[in-house]
Structure 1
């Protein structure tokens, strides 16, 4: 059977989006697909850059576009669009699959102009979902998504909440959208071995406005002032790193609230945690939470899209409203004072992971979506 020529386009080659694409490439049937990848380098993280030699060795065709950048620039975006069009014309792909907002706009426009019939889009959380946007900006981003949806064969949302947002705002229909959860490779069942009596509460997230690290800090500061046996860790880097570092140093809490920085292998960090916390303002389907499930951790998180399809109230964790420091503190105090609850919630997390969030399930559903277009 002839291979399907599949072109991925992505500007945001870092964090969860990078993880998603690399996991697909590592696990998809390369005997059935010729994989091409157009990527932007400006936001590519170390993990992606270090993976380039192995991707080439696997036979993946790579195209780096320095003009493919997050910021809106008529000059850069025009150059990127022209280059993407040239690449598409040289490849003649059967499917173009665009990931995240910027590639979703430029990539879909280029594919349409080149006459590609099968255009797929995965937003990884819509910009319009941000609660910090003004009503005017929210409407602008929704309008753009509606426009590009007209040339999109199918939108793959990574959570049901993300899809419902798109349906409610007229971005997609039930006929041209589907949900495929992110998944990670199955691990051996977690073995939580406590080294001492200290409780570690932590998160893995980019230090950005979306992840709301200031609320994380305010929660942590409140808890450590009351409990000598509890410490906090934040794994990740980003624009808020220095801001958070200065707050911690100003309050002399370096030993109790630790900024770990970027780590290649977050499993090693999660193995040290007793409770996972997330303070995100909005999400698609966060990989860090799926990793937390796989490590058998109870999760305390904001009640936003994505999070609320991973965290089930009083089953494997608890939800609180965005920026609700007091609500999060009350939940954490309950868990700190009830260690048996930490254990039982964690056991349920691992069960949920096995049932819903394995890489095998993700790839199976994705290949079924692609196969629709092979037959056509």
Structure 2
């Protein structure tokens, strides 16, 4: 079976998702893989491809524009159609909104292919867009599914609830290879001294909120593992910004801190939270899609709607250190039960083969 992945964005969570699928299916002799990606999205690093993908994975660059541009989108569509005709895949798996549209149009060039689409966070749920744009993107999602078909493979529970309203859908949760973290030493948390997050310092991750929380608790060390265009918004004196680290160093550093925090405005289903859970971290997170699919409020952390909620949650963790231990244990249990990549992606392979 030849599986073709198509994605306009080939960075951060979507990149990790595709790379993780390919790492899993590389072990399956029944599956051959090709990837069409856009090389012009900021943050795409082709130098990483050699270490991240098997030499048997074919990587094909085709420029796609994130924003809507009829002229550029039409050019991208023609190239995608030509590639699909040439590859003649059995399965086309589309990732994120732009590829979800262009890819379904291009798939008509080879109608024998089964088409699947993973939103990784619907565009119409983005909080940085106007209501008009969000309504427009929701209409696109609704009608592109009705007219051009395909099955949505939601990567999380809440995304699946939206997907079912828009058309044919199925859920296969994101996951990580839990065995890859077995060697990392986890510092047992007896007292709340430090709070950490990991990711791009961008509008989606809401660094203003992260900064405001840090200002309330000057005695706690806040660490942001990563970098990004909104770095200047992290001004509190108790915030440390590490810059980008390779995955091994980032996870080892994350493991040394007491609590993981995610202040995102929206998410798909973030790998960073799943990794933090596997490393036995209590989670503080905004109560948004993606985050709430991983965090069970007051079981392995707290879901928060406001800065006041975060303040209350941190005060509870400070005064009741048993929460740190109990939430950490529950995080690891939930990660094992719900987000085991090997178990989840076995379901994905079955979808490719039989659905």
Tell me if TM exceeds 0.5: yes
Q: What is the match of residue 171 of structure 2?
A: 179
Distance in 2, matches of 1:137 and 1:370, equals: 33
Distance 1:329 1:261, change over 3 A: same
Q: Verify: 1:242 aligned to 2:226, yes or no.
A: no
**Can you list the C-alpha shifts for 1:151-189, whole angstroms capped at 9, x where unaligned?**
23310011111121233xx422xxx21111111112328
Q: What is the match of residue 43 of structure 1?
A: 41
Q: What is the match of residue 96 of structure 1?
A: 92
- Give 1:368 shift: 1.0
Structure-to-structure mapping, 1:12-91, within 5 angstroms: 12-28=9-25, 29-43=27-41, 45=43, 49-54=46-51, 58-65=55-62, 67-91=63-87
Structure-to-structure mapping, 1:224-263, within 5 angstroms: 224=218, 228=219, 230-244=220-234, 247-248=235-236, 253=237, 256-263=238-245
- Give 1:117 shift: 4.1
Distance 1:54 1:270, change over 3 A: closer
- Give 1:190 shift: 6.2
Distance in 2, matches of 1:136 and 1:44, equals: 26
Distance 1:197 1:94, change over 3 A: closer
Distance in 1, matches of 2:80 and 2:30, equals: 24
Q: Is the 8 A contact 1:190 1:294 kept in 2?
A: no
Q: What is the match of residue 115 of structure 1?
A: 111
Which range moved further: 50-59 or 151-160?
50-59
Distance 1:213 1:87, change over 3 A: same
Q: Is the 8 A contact 1:235 1:259 kept in 2?
A: yes
Gap runs ≥5 in structure 2: none
Distance 1:345 1:56, change over 3 A: closer
Q: Is the 8 A contact 1:27 1:363 kept in 2?
A: yes
Q: What is the match of residue 136 of structure 2?
A: 140
- Give 1:366 shift: 0.4
Structure-to-structure mapping, 1:256-271, within 5 angstroms: 256-265=238-247, 266-271=250-255
Distance in 2, matches of 1:190 and 1:54, equals: 20
Distance in 1, matches of 2:173 and 2:192, equals: 34
Distance 1:49 1:362, change over 3 A: farther
1:367 paired residue among 346, 349, 355: 349
- Give 1:371 shift: 1.1
Which range moved further: 144-153 or 295-304?
144-153
Distance in 2, matches of 1:298 and 1:57, equals: 34
Distance 1:342 1:109, change over 3 A: same
Distance in 2, matches of 1:61 and 1:55, equals: 12
Q: What is the match of residue 329 of structure 1?
A: 311
Which range moved further: 55-64 or 327-336?
55-64
Q: Verify: 1:222 aligned to 2:216, yes or no.
A: yes
Distance 1:25 1:56, change over 3 A: closer
Q: How many residues were matched structurally? A: 349
Distance 1:196 1:42, change over 3 A: farther
In the superposition, the TM-score normalised over structure 2's length comes to 0.92
Distance 1:318 1:196, change over 3 A: closer
Q: What is the match of residue 204 of structure 1?
A: 198
- Give 1:69 shift: 2.6
- Give 1:146 shift: 1.1
- Give 1:55 shift: 6.5
Distance 1:63 1:232, change over 3 A: same
Distance in 1, matches of 2:75 and 2:172, equals: 32
- Give 1:194 shift: 5.9
Q: Is the 8 A contact 2:3 2:91 kept in 1?
A: yes
- Give 1:16 shift: 0.8
Q: Is the 8 A contact 2:278 2:331 kept in 1?
A: yes
Q: What is the match of residue 285 of structure 2?
A: 301
Q: Is the 8 A contact 1:121 1:152 kept in 2?
A: no
- Give 1:198 shift: 6.9
